[in-house]
Amino acid sequence: MNRTSDRALVLGTALTQTIGWGTLFIPFALMVQPMEAALGWSRAEINGAFTIGILLSGILAIPVGRWVDRHGGQAPLAWGSVLGSAMLATWAMTDQLWLFYLVWIGLGVAHATALWGPAMAVVVALAKQPMRVITAITFVTGFAGTIFVPLVAGLIAGFGWRGALWILAAVQLLPAVTAWWQFAGAQAPTPHERRNSDEAYRRTLRRPAFWGLALCFAAHAFIGVSLGAHLVPLLREAGLSEASVILLVALHGPLQVAARAALYVAGSRASTRWVGLGAMLLLPMALLWLGGAPAAFVWLLPFVFCWAVADGLLTIVRAAGTAEILGREGYGAVTGALSLIAVLPRTLGPITVALIWEAQGGYGSVPWILAAVGVLGAASFVLALRDKA
């Protein structure tokens, strides 16, 4: 099989990204409490390191994207995975707070080089049908949490948090080997293609469509991380039973994957332009429903459905839709710029909602505020669609 055929891109990228997110991102939330108990650090101190890592990954998105445009994706994907493995091993030996912050600086670099952005840049550059390939990849990676949350929890229970990190460090070497082998024969861009890529990047930054997509994806990021951090306490505050809260939150993953599966079946009949518009309209609808619906499990199912479908489809639109609307030339740098613009809203989302909660003594206005952000995002996507350049 051709190592860079569409089928190979689906298999290889789904493997590297599922393991990469499962080892480099998902374990943090499960490590916080064991580290607090073992090391005596505060939750704010631990989360500060994570925040720095996420910010650094956003700052590096543009230079990493330009590297992929100019030299291909083998080096960042493979060596970024090696760096991630080394940082997990160092984390396992950490007992000083300053060293933990250095670990997350290294993991920020690993996120920027080994995870979603550069992987999608490679797919867009090499795939014959980028949207179909990306949809298939996201179908698989949608199960990363389903696989790794119980796996990491089990490893912590069986081997302690340090032992779990050693095992995850070993697992993270598999994406490195896979990426190095898969792209060993991929042809690097020619000097002419590099010049065209640089010119396309500069030209794209001046297009209204770029800024429309930037605001749209920033709004989605703000809403997504805010709900991720606060939905459980919001539903508890509304008076739902614990079983209802857990089930509503748990439905997000399967519904998200189902939406991606439906898009995959639709294939070339579905334009990411209209898929993106539909998803961006569903997002504020979901939040308006959350704000106005009675606090009962059945009444909140439409919220979960609309939110999960929108979230699942926008992951694909962020990758494939950018290529369709802005073009494939300079894609790595362009998506890096989009990621950089979204990194501050992604970082500020949880703390902003927390401050609203403290100021008002509850979450009452939060769904309405997030819905307004969603409307802004939908309007921005319409702006991107109206740019015919």
**pLDDT per residue over 101-147, tens digit each?**
999 999 999 999 999 888 988 888 888 888 788 888 988 888 887 78
The whole-number pLDDT of residue 192 equals 61
Higher-confidence position of 94 and 335:
94
pTM value is 0.81
Q: Above pLDDT 90, what percent of the chain?
A: 44
Give which of 84, 120, 133 is closest to 105, Cα–Cα.
Answer: 84
The whole-number pLDDT of residue 130 equals 83
Indicate whether 1 pLDDT > 60. Answer: no
Give which of 306, 288, 21 is closest to 140, Cα–Cα.
Answer: 21
Q: Above pLDDT 70, what percent of the chain?
A: 97
**pLDDT per residue over 60-73, tens digit each?**
998 998 888 888 88
**CB neighbour list of residue 357: distance below 8 Å, 6 or more residues apart:** 230, 363, 366
Assess contact for 354 and 132: CB atoms under 8 A: no
**CB neighbour list of residue 286: distance below 8 Å, 6 or more residues apart:** 302, 303, 304, 305, 306, 307, 310, 374
Q: What is the rounded CA–CA span in Å between residue 112 and residue 118?
A: 8
The whole-number pLDDT of residue 301 equals 95
**Token pair recorded at residue 129:** 């049908």
Mean pLDDT of the chain: 89
The whole-number pLDDT of residue 190 equals 66
Cα dihedral sign, 40-41-46-49: negative
**pLDDT per residue over 258-301, tens digit each?**
888 888 888 777 788 889 999 999 999 999 999 999 999 999 99
**CB neighbour list of residue 191: distance below 8 Å, 6 or more residues apart:** none
Q: What is the rounded CA–CA span in Å between residue 383 and residue 378?
A: 9
Angle made by CA atoms 43, 48, 53, in degrees to the nearest 5: 135
Q: How confident is the model at residue 256 (pLDDT cuts 50, 70, 90)?
A: confident
| C-alpha dist (Å) from residue 220 to 82, 119, 200 | 31, 21, 26
Question: Phi then psi for 205, rounded to 5 degrees?
Answer: -60, -20
